[in-house]
Amino acid sequence: MSDGFSRRVFLGNSLAIGGGLLLGGCDSGAATQGAAVLTGKPVSGGRLRVGIIDGDQSGNLDAHKPVGGGIIRGWALYSKFWEWNTDVSTRLALAEFAEPNADASAWTIRIKPGLEFHHGKTIGADDMLFSLLRLTDPKLASPFAGLVGAIDRNALRKLDERTIEIRFKHGQSFYPLDETLISFGGIVPTDYDPITNPVGAGPYKLKRFVPGQRSLYTRFENYYKPGQPYADELEIIEFKDQVSRVAALRAGQIDVASGVQAEHSALLKADSRLQLSVSPTTSFTGFNLNLAKPPFDDVRVRQAFRLLADRQELVDRGLNGFGRIANDLYSPHDPTYNHGIAQRPYDLEQARALLRQAGQTDLRVELTTPPGPGVNAALVFAQQAKKAGVEVRVSQVDGAVFNGPQREQWQVSPGSTPARGFLASALHNDAPLAIYNRSNFHDPRFDDLYRQALAQPDLALRKGLVHEAQQIQHARGGLLIWGFSDVLDAASVKVGGLTPEQTTFASWRFDELWLNHV
């Protein structure tokens, strides 16, 4: 995550400035891959070097409380009960059975037989319970415990050597356990310690870790997917900013760069030694209009704001064209998504009319944003708002202040959430159980529908509930979701197995990537 600080001027080592000028003019955007990718069958061997942006954090290796690059490193070290499909649904991974009961108030999870951790211990129910208890331990104070805050720690039960049962607090239901537990629910043995014994069941086991710089891993021979991972070794190298990482990629010092900046796409596409993979994810970006602060307590003002946003321009300028417009609703990939709601148009007239009706001509609002990629979109939006007679003042504050005690009190603030299903995404945004609700949207009918959906494993029935909930969000919610962002990953043409998907994890699937020997 690049922030305002570590900046560096970029130098490619094979393009002069003149060449650069030419490039700007002839970017046709035709091919997405720079050259013929060496596809075909996976090949074993080699050391796969992945470059990640760690910003200023040194990071750690904790499975349940990863910091900075620790999140990506977790994909090498740890496995979970489920894993992500390319369409943001989940499939079983370590578990051979994971199902909720009829009203989703309890989940039963059974692990596959004969699975081991990196140090040889067989995975059993004790380890499963230990992992869950650790994730939700208030003394560990993991920020990701909030996602599974519904789990009742005292009601976790071991049913047999490979099976556990999970129940939720106050007998409530919680259908999206898979999506919320996947991300940070790495299964670790009972003798786990993030610093002295960072052991898991992931595709690679740790060989060496230098915080803030790099880490080295070797293949775990007893990984639960036979024949995988492919590369003998994995090395994750941390960069402080995007520019130096692209330079390293082009110089062949790394093989994969996860999450490259859109500005570099033209350069990367033109380089025949590299491939660019553009994942059309359903991660969204938007603005939170705070219902607790005037004038956004008036639904007409909120609708006016949603109408005055030129979404295509926001995508073009804010995301450099790498994205698709959105309709103020999240999770379009979810089977329960309401495709029947028409795309909100860009309508300045209507926006002005609504503002007049609400008595808010000549409106001034403050948009508070942390430094980083979201600033561009904020600036573009401020420009657009001018055309409707609204003055938006963009105020940048420190990341720590932005997420500080005032985080639910900003008048307008940017918000983005990675690709997740409806129920899980709502936990980040406007659900009644949300970890934090920057738009302070508390609609009784919506809350009721949400709670019912939480308890409804049946897809058809849940669909009806979510459809209505989304209509409410669209008509009177506080989220101005203008676009879905693409994730760009770049890699050497020697790397195989890198395919675009709807999740953000295309280049994190270390058990699927391989190195062709050229």
HSE, side-chain direction, 13 A CA sphere, residue 362: 0
**Residues between 422 and 461 with contacts to another protein, criterion CB under 8 A:** 428, 435-436
SS3 440: coil
Contact code string over 365-404 relative to another protein, x by CB under 8 A: ------x---xx--xx-xx----------xxxxxxxxxxx
Q: Does 4 bind another protein (CB under 8 A)?
A: yes
The smaller minimum CB distance to another protein, of residues 299 and 375, is found at: 375
Which residues, 63 to 122, sit near another protein by CB under 8 A?
A: 67-68
Number of residues in contact with another protein under rule CB under 8 A: 88
- For another protein, give the closer residue by CB, 9 or 30: 9
Interacting residue with another protein among 37, 43, 133, 248 (CB under 8 A): 248
| Interface residue with another protein, options 205, 214, 219, 306 (CB under 8 A) | 214
- Does residue 153 bind another protein (CB under 8 A)? no
Q: Which is nearer to another protein, 216 or 358 (CB)?
A: 216
The CA distance from 444 to 269, in Å, is 49
Cα distances (angstroms) measured from residue 500 to each of 71, 320, 515: 20, 18, 17
Peptide bond into 432 cis (omega under 30): no
Nearer to another protein, 37 or 67 (CB): 67
Q: Which of 146, 335, 432, 457 binds another protein (CB under 8 A)?
A: 146
* Cα dihedral sign, 49-53-54-56: positive
Which of residues 180 and 473 has its CB atom nearest to another protein in the complex?
A: 180
Verify binding: residue 247, another protein, rule CB under 8 A: yes
Positions of E strands within 290-425: 323-325, 363-369, 390-396, 412-417
Candidates 82, 84, 107, 144: give the one binding another protein (CB under 8 A): 144
* The residue type at 392: V
Closest CA to 87 of 174, 181, 179: 179
Pair of tokens at residue 217: 């891993």
Q: Is 206 in the site for another protein (CB under 8 A)?
A: no
Range list of H helices, 330-421: 348-357, 374-387, 399-402
Write the DSSP string, 467-490.
Answer: HHHHHHHHHH-SEEEEEEEEEEEE
Interacting span for another protein (CB under 8 A) from 35-43, 104-112, 226-234, 240-248: 240-248
Tell me if 77 sits within 8 A of 315, measured CB to CB: no
3 binds another protein (CB under 8 A): yes
For residue 27, give the amino acid letter.
D
Tell me if 48 contacts another protein by CB under 8 A: no
For another protein, give the closer residue by CB, 207 or 445.
Answer: 207
Q: How far is the CB of 86 from another protein (least distance, A)?
A: 25
Q: Note whether 29 binds another protein by CB under 8 A.
A: no
Q: How far is the CB of 163 from another protein (least distance, A)?
A: 30
- In angstroms, give the least distance from the CB of 309 to another protein: 14
Q: Is 37 in the site for another protein (CB under 8 A)?
A: no
Residue of 241, 271, 430, 501 that binds another protein (CB under 8 A): 241
Residues of span 250-309 touching another protein by CB under 8 A: 251, 253, 261, 263-264, 266-267
Residue 152 engages another protein in binding (rule: CB under 8 A): no
Half-sphere exposure of 115 (CA within 13 A, CB side): 29
Taking the complex as a whole, the smallest distance from the CB of residue 323 to another protein amounts, in Å, to: 13
Q: Which of 170, 215, 207, 163 is nearest to 49 (CA)?
A: 215
Nearer to another protein, 244 or 516 (CB): 244
Structure tokens, 237: 């190298």
If one asks whether residue 24 binds another protein (CB under 8 A), the answer comes out as yes
Radius of gyration of the chain (CA): 23
Beta strands in 248-385 (DSSP E): 256-257, 274-289, 323-325, 363-369
> Across the chain, how many H-helices and E-strands are there?
14, 19
Site string for another protein, 472-511 (x = CB under 8 A): ----------------------------------------
The DSSP output letter for 89 is -
Given a contact cutoff of 8 angstroms between Cβ atoms, the answer to whether 474 and 468 are in contact is no
Determine the Cα–Cα distance for residues 100 and 106; give it in Å rounded to an integer.
6
Question: Considering beta carbons, is residue 194 or 496 the nearer one to another protein?
Answer: 194
Among 25, 120, 227, 444, binds another protein (CB under 8 A): 25
Peptide bond into 295 cis (omega under 30): yes
- Compute the least distance from the CB of residue 46 to another protein, in Å: 18
Using CB under 8 A, pick the residue from 30, 36, 195, 342 that binds another protein.
195
Tell me if 261 sits within 8 A of 2, measured CB to CB: yes
Does 138 interact with another protein (rule: CB under 8 A)? yes
Residues in 318-357 that interact with another protein by CB under 8 A? 320-321
How far from each other are the two terminal CA atoms of the chain, in whole angstroms? 32
By CB under 8 A, residue 147 contacts another protein: yes
